[in-house]
Amino acid sequence: MPSSLLTDSGLETWLIFHRQVDLPEFAAFPLLGSNDGRRLLAEYYRDHLRVAADAGSGIVLETPTWRASADWGARLGYSADQLDDVNRDAVAFLRSLGTEFGDVPLVVSGTIGPRDDGYAPSEQLTPEEAADYHHAQIMSFVTAGADRVTMLTATHAGEAIGVVQAARTAGADVVVAFTVETDGRLPSGQPLAEAVAEVDAATSGAALHFGINCAHPDHFGSVLAEDPAAYERVRLLRANASRASHAELDEAEELDAGDPSELAAQYAALVEAHPHLQELGGCCGTDVRHVAAIATTCIGGT
């Protein structure tokens, strides 16, 4: 496996703004239930696999299951058994697409989202509550043979601890990516470095590594620079295209895709300063253009 990996980008915003797909509850997983939906998802993932092939890089593809957990699924009319089917199908779907690009090392990651809102959670879960809540989805991914599970947009340490504990119990490798506000702190108000340290201390360092997602480099770059050693466990970087705050993004009716070249240059500067950042992709507002620019700038793709 190459030392640097790409990831995919902002699936949901690509679907909404580039393909005019209605996503109730910001959930992409229902698209797996129709031929048209599967074709759209395949288009998205194949585009990213092509970029990885051109760059000579491996890639981590996240299943479209950020909302495919019990509470969110229930809002969309899905039973526990139906969600189990969806989560297992999502893994098989990505594995099948990967066979079309046999020379591209592929990591299939089962994606977990927060139980509550990813920008403004109304409550903070205890580790015990979080482990109990996320257990079923994690087991679906393990049963389906996912290479790992990844929690994206973690908002507080308690839920992240529970996810790591549940994954460890299930025998799954796990990554946790926190989101931060414009001040570089989690939505809970906790500094990022403290959250990473708290999760590691509570789980004996069981997570493969940590990440940052759903924030622009302007929001966290200075925080990383203040104490680089505190962030050596942060390996995954999936930034937003926009410099807008979470509150502003929630209200946005038009896509702010930023400048792919500028974002890639910011990634390159971050990687130079923090060589442990080795899994590189995008989040809200980004698409395959941003990942291609990041590949060219940071890995050497064409």
pLDDT tens by residue, 124-150: 999 999 999 999 999 999 999 999 999
Q: Are strands 279-282 and 5-7 parallel, antiparallel or unpaired?
A: parallel
To which H or E segment does residue 110 belong?
A: strand 106-112
Please name the residues in contact with 257: beta carbons below 8 A apart, sequence gap of 6 or more: 241, 242, 285, 286, 287, 290
The per-residue pLDDT for 4 is 87
Name 239's bridge partners: 282
DSSP code per residue over 204-252: TT-SSEEEEESS-HHHHHHHHHH-GGGGTTEEEEEE-S----HHHHHH-
Inform me whether the pLDDT recorded for 3 exceeds 80.
no
Which of the listed CATH numbers 3.20.20.330, 3.50.50.60, 1.10.600.10, 3.40.50.720 matches domain 5-299?
A: 3.20.20.330
CA distances 108 to 41, 74, 89, 138, 249, Å, are 15, 25, 12, 13, 28
Span 201-248, pLDDT tens digits: 999 999 999 999 999 999 999 999 999 999 999 999 999 999 988 888
Exposure class string for 129-164: b at 16+ Cβ within 10 A, else e: ebbebbbebbbbbbebebbbbbbbbbbbbbbbbbbb
Inform me whether the pLDDT recorded for 81 exceeds 90.
yes
Residue 25 · residue 67 · CB < 8 Å: yes
Span 48-78, pLDDT tens digits: 999 999 999 999 999 999 999 999 999 999 9
Q: Please work out, in degrees rounded to the nearest 5, the angle formed at the alpha carbon of residue 223 by the alpha carbons of 157 and 261.
A: 110
Inform me whether the pLDDT recorded for 2 exceeds 50.
no
Give backbone dihedrals phi and psi of 51, rounded to 5 degrees, phi first.
-60, -45
Using alpha carbons, select from 280, 286, 261, 258 the residue that is nearest to residue 55: 280
To which H or E segment does residue 35 belong?
A: helix 35-55
Residue 110 · residue 148 · CB < 8 Å: yes
Using alpha carbons, select from 262, 190, 182 the residue that is nearest to residue 222: 182
Looking up tokens 């340490």, which residue turns up? 157
The per-residue pLDDT for 117 is 85
For the four alpha carbons of 275, 119, 22 and 252, in that order, the dihedral sign comes to: negative
Inform me whether the pLDDT recorded for 1 exceeds 60.
no
Q: Please work out, in degrees rounded to the nearest 5, the angle formed at the alpha carbon of residue 174 by the alpha carbons of 223 and 263.
A: 40
Task: Determine the Cα–Cα distance for residues 81 and 136; give it in Å rounded to an integer.
Answer: 10
For the four alpha carbons of 130, 135, 140 and 146, in that order, the dihedral sign comes to: positive
Task: Determine the Cα–Cα distance for residues 12 and 21; give it in Å rounded to an integer.
Answer: 9
Task: Determine the Cα–Cα distance for residues 129 and 151; give it in Å rounded to an integer.
Answer: 15
Please report, for the chain, the start and end positions of each structural domain, with discontinuous segments joined by +. 5-299
